[in-house]
Structure 1
Amino acid sequence: MMFCRVRSILRRAAPAAIALLAFASAPVSATEMGYAVVPTTTIYPGETVSGDRLQEVEVTNPNLKGDYAKSIGQVSGMISKRTLLPGRTISVSALREPYTVTRGSSIRMIFTVGEMTISAAGSPLEDGMTGQLIRVRNMDSGVIVSGTVLKDGTIHVATK
């Protein structure tokens, strides 16, 4: 009697189980999943990520989430903050923009008040990217000031 009841339950549940398995194992196309960028060689911290060391691969893991790079153009020219291993996705947070000015180099400092502009030679005391506030030593007076790095590599000195 018990055997007949179990067989009856299985007979009713089988079509639903088959439909569920068919839905769960349905392939997801690459256009739905997208692409990810992976290095072809090991890229160490501080190295520039170049397009010839990267490849775009089809994402096949539906559990892959996060801020991984999806195109080579998105990461080419960036600087690695961590070791990037071949065949592993590249996290966008593992990259940074290249520095516009580097510590110890010779740069031009600009100070503007109204229509008056004063320019002087300076030396950054730290590396800086465009838009970043850094400390700079005036080469003539030795005074240390703070300024914002401009895109052309000059430093716009901040007023106090």
Structure 2
Amino acid sequence: MTFCQEKITGLRRIAAATLIATSMLAPWSSRAGDMGYAVIPTVIIYPGDTISPADLQEVEVTNPNLAGDYAKSIDQVRGLISKKTLLPGRTISMSALREPFTVTRGANIRLVFSIGAMTISAAGTPLEDGFIGQLIRVRNMDSGVIVSGTVLADGTVHVAAK
């Protein structure tokens, strides 16, 4: 065999090996593109911090074993509050986030009590943080009496009748 024939035979072997490797990897590469995206922090986010899009990055998921309730888009986590430390380069579990509180402990709020057409309103202060629809304890600022009420979207608390 001449040098030229050996070179051609070697190139054919390389081309065949490349073709085989490419055909074997093709199913994996197409699956990786179908897995979507995950959101990762670019900085450390501490418990209680509000999630800011400036601190996040969307990356393509390439690990076929990645499962769970991880965030898939920045819009999905924008404005939420971290419940635990989130590390750069790690996916963000949705269970590690919460909605911001509608009312916070110690703030000045309005208490509302309604029966029929009659509505009574008073100043109050929550004794605990609360979300919309949550039943919390509130102190009436005028009387000092502690009552329970439901947090409304506007930040008022609707007092429950006893």
TM-score, normalisation: structure 1: 0.83
Match of 2:112 in 1: 110
Q: C-alpha deviations, 1:45-77, integer Å up to 9, x for none?
A: 000010000010000000000000000010010
5 Å-filtered alignment, 1:9-48, equals 22=24, 26-48=28-50
Partner of 1:141: 143
Displacement of 1:23 in angstroms is 7.6
Aligned-partner residue type, residue 90 of structure 2: R
Secondary structure of the equivalent of 1:66?
A: coil
After TM superposition, give the deviation of residue 29 of structure 1 in Å. 4.5
Aligned CA RMSD, in angstroms, stands at: 1.8
Residue 31 of structure 1: CA displacement? 4.0
Q: Which runs of 5+ in 2 are unaligned?
A: 1-19
* C-alpha contact 2:32 2:63 (8 A) present in aligned 1: no
Return the alpha-carbon distance in structure 2 between the equivalents of residues 73 and 58 of structure 1. Answer: 16
Q: Percent identity?
A: 73
The number of aligned residues is: 141
Aligned to 2:126: 124
Alignment partner of 1:77 is 2:79: yes
Query: Residue deviations 1:32-56, cap 9 Å, x none?
Result: 1000000000000000010000010
Determine helix, strand or coil for the equivalent of 1:26: helix
1:48 maps to amino acid = T
Q: Within 1, Cα distance between the matches of 2:33 and 2:133?
A: 37
- After TM superposition, give the deviation of residue 132 of structure 1 in Å: 1.0
Report the CA distance between 1:115 and its aligned residue.
Answer: 1.2
Question: Is the deviation greater in 24-33 or in 42-51?
Answer: 24-33
Rounded Cα–Cα distance in structure 2 between residues aligned with 1:144 and 1:84 = 37
Structure 1 segments, 4+ long, off by >6 Å, are none
Q: Which amino acid aligns with 2:50?
A: T
SS at match of 2:29: coil
- Seen in structure 2, the aligned counterparts of structure 1 residues 92 and 35 have a Cα distance that, compared at 3 Å, is same
